[in-house]
Amino acid sequence: MVEKLYHFIGGARVEGKSGRFAPIFTPMTGEISAEVPLASTVELAEAVANAKAAQPAWAATNPQKRARVLMKFLELLARDFEKIALKLALEHGKTLPDARGDIQRGLEVVEFAIGIPHLLKGEYTEGAGPGIDMYSMRQPLGVVAGITPFNFPAMIPMWKFAPAIACGNAFILKPSERDPSVPLMLAELMYEAGLPKGILNVVNGDKEVVDAILDHPDIKAIGFVGSTPIGEYIFTRGTANGKRVQAFGGAKNHALIMPDADLDMVADALIGAGYGSAGERCMAISVAVPVGEKTADALVERLAPRVRTLRVGPSTDEKADFGPVITRQHMEKVKSYVDIGVQEGAELVVDGRDVNLQGYEGGYYVGGVLFDRVTTNMRIYKEEIFGPVLSVVRAPDYETALSLPSDHEYGNGVAIFTRDGDTARDFAARVDVGMVGINVPIPVPLAYYTFGGWKRSGFGDLNQHGPDSIRFYTKTKTVTSRWPSGIRSGASFVIPTMG
Ligand code: NAD
């Protein structure tokens, strides 16, 4: 049966009014499981009005009480964990264990946001002048919005709404229209946890509602995660409208493999980071850069049999290494990149284009693909494929290898594998990329650090989660006060100084 989804506005489920809907597919079978309403400016205006009306009282609620709603939310999330993980796996396509990880990495940011009474503390200077004290405070922005991608439908919405709401804002979430069920489930749990009506709204839709968010004068900040062209558009239009915007985009994450690295460990790391979640992670490794021909030969020799025997399967198969990709179009796109790589002259070591799973013929499967002798002028090197495709680019020496991720237009994540501390330290200091792993293939910082890529992987100044999220979702007010108020120094026409 095709389920009818809804928006979540003012603490209640609301039917779509625009008359436009999009089908939701189950990637492992290709069947339609639900349809999602695509909002217009009307639903968005309704959500913003609800948010705006509710926000002042929420901002005035003491931070510990706000944190308690998030604590209760965590309890409810633990209660419904398996139900949500299964829905996530079915709608996104990732395997059930990986779906659990998606929820887990999101709830860790909720745990961080529970520290909000501490995180919001300002500064104080007693006696900054005669009878003068000075202090700063962090105040919420008001109504803020998050626009999120399909690939982490639990984690990224929580990265956005938990710190924003903890800081006293009201939040409008526009999740991906390809897998919106989990974000809706999360919103429902937030209300069951005691969130006042209107503080978290989920408005489903596509470009039409995104544009309405970008133009709405009452939305003060937008956090976006998705592809680079859309991220750049969101940043440009949102900031032109006077909003604070952070927009995180695509990636091409390199792993450098030095001749002294433990190649068995490297092979394990590359198999997991290259093919986990069918490569649909912004921190997936898609380029391996072995240094020296000997290292390259030994690495490819280790990788090839393992890629050949990767098990792609339905999301519900607990033994599958990874599941289908998100849509039929995306499956075709990934396969077309394999065609392009062959035409460009890369060596196709393992071809994953022909996968047929009995009983799942309608699903969107691509098997593991391994290319060797990829060069920097090839499209398969330059562009984000977002599929289970790993390219080996052979580098003659460390300096050449270091220049590859540094010169690439994307700068999300990067890793180096070596036993040499000097090289690792030099690499971490010099590489022009935002998140670095040393013998760690997917260096996603923990909740209390910040997450964000450089160059065309991130637009805006402040990162996601960690201390930057508090800065992003608040504005600083600085107060200069004089007590006792009666000290008189006469009228002065000169700027006050401490001279
Ligand atoms: P996407 O850019 O297609 O969609 C992201 C969001 O933008 C969705 O909510 C979508 O509805 C909206 N959108 C799509 N087209 C739009 C348009 N023309 N105008 C306005 N809004 C539009 O991205 P996706 O396919 O959902 O996600 C995959 C991408 O996200 C990859 O590029 C991946 O690298 C990136 N990603 C980046 C990070 C990061 O932190 N840097 C994390 C996860 C995913």
Whether 282 is catalytic: yes
Whether the model clears a pTM of 0.95, i.e. scores above it, the answer is yes
Amino acid identity, residue 219? I
Q: How many CB atoms lie within 10 A of CB 266?
A: 25
The pLDDT value given to residue 310 = 98
Query: Are the CB atoms for 223 and 144 separated by under 8 Å?
Result: yes
Choose the CATH number for 253-438 among 3.40.309.10, 2.60.40.10, 3.10.20.310, 3.40.50.2300.
Answer: 3.40.309.10
Q: Which residues contact 248 (CB under 8 A, 6 or more apart)?
A: 224, 225, 226, 231, 282, 452, 453, 457, 458, 459, 464
Q: What separation in Å is there between the alpha carbon of 423 and the centre of ligand 1?
A: 35
Residue 153 DSSP one-character state: T
Mutate to test the pocket of ligand 1, among 36, 38, 151 (most ligand atoms within 8 A of CB): 151
Please tell me the distance from the alpha carbon of residue 147 to that of residue 210, in angstroms, as a whole number.
8
- Which residues are bridge partners to 222 per DSSP? 145, 245
Within 6 A (CB) of ligand 1 lie: 147-152, 174, 176-177, 206-207, 210, 225-227, 230, 248-251, 282, 384, 386, 412, 453, 457
Q: What separation in Å is there between the alpha carbon of 263 and the centre of ligand 1?
A: 34
Q: What is the CA radius of gyration of the chain?
A: 25
Q: What separation in Å is there between the alpha carbon of 38 and the centre of ligand 1?
A: 16
pLDDT tens track of the chain, all 499 residues?
789 999 999 999 999 999 999 999 999 999 999 999 999 999 999 999 999 999 999 999 999 999 999 999 999 999 999 999 999 999 999 999 999 999 999 999 999 999 999 999 999 999 998 889 999 999 999 999 999 999 999 999 999 999 999 999 999 999 999 999 999 999 999 999 999 999 999 999 999 999 999 999 999 999 999 999 999 999 999 999 999 999 999 999 999 999 999 999 999 999 999 999 999 999 999 999 999 999 999 999 999 999 999 999 999 998 999 999 999 999 999 999 999 999 999 999 999 999 999 999 999 999 999 999 999 999 999 999 999 999 999 999 999 999 999 999 999 999 999 999 999 999 999 999 999 999 999 999 999 999 999 999 999 999 999 999 999 999 999 999 998 877 777 888 888 887 7
| Nearest protein CA to atom 35 of ligand 1, as residue | 226
Q: Is 248 helix (H, G, I), strand (E, B) or coil?
A: strand
The pLDDT value given to residue 476 = 97
Q: What separation in Å is there between the alpha carbon of 13 and the centre of ligand 1?
A: 25
Q: What separation in Å is there between the alpha carbon of 225 and the centre of ligand 1?
A: 6
Q: Which of 83, 419, 139, 437 is nearest to 258 (CA)?
A: 419
Which atom belonging to ligand 1 lies closest to the Cα atom of 458? 41
Residues 448, 453, 456, CA angle at the centre, nearest 5°? 160
The pLDDT value given to residue 486 = 73
Catalytic hit among 173, 258, 282, 307:
282
Q: Where in the chain is the domain with CATH 3.40.309.10?
A: 253-438
- Fold designation for 3-249+457-479: Aldehyde Dehydrogenase; Chain A, domain 1 (3.40.605)
> What's the maximum distance between 2 C-alpha atoms anywhere in the chain?
89
In DSSP notation, 343-376 reads HHT-EEEE--S----TT-TTS-----EEEES--T
Query: Are the CB atoms for 183 and 190 separated by under 8 Å?
Result: no
Mutate to test the pocket of ligand 1, among 179, 206, 209 (most ligand atoms within 8 A of CB): 206
Q: Where in the chain is the domain with CATH 3.40.605.10?
A: 3-249+457-479
Please tell me the distance from the alpha carbon of residue 54 to that of residue 199, in angstroms, as a whole number.
6
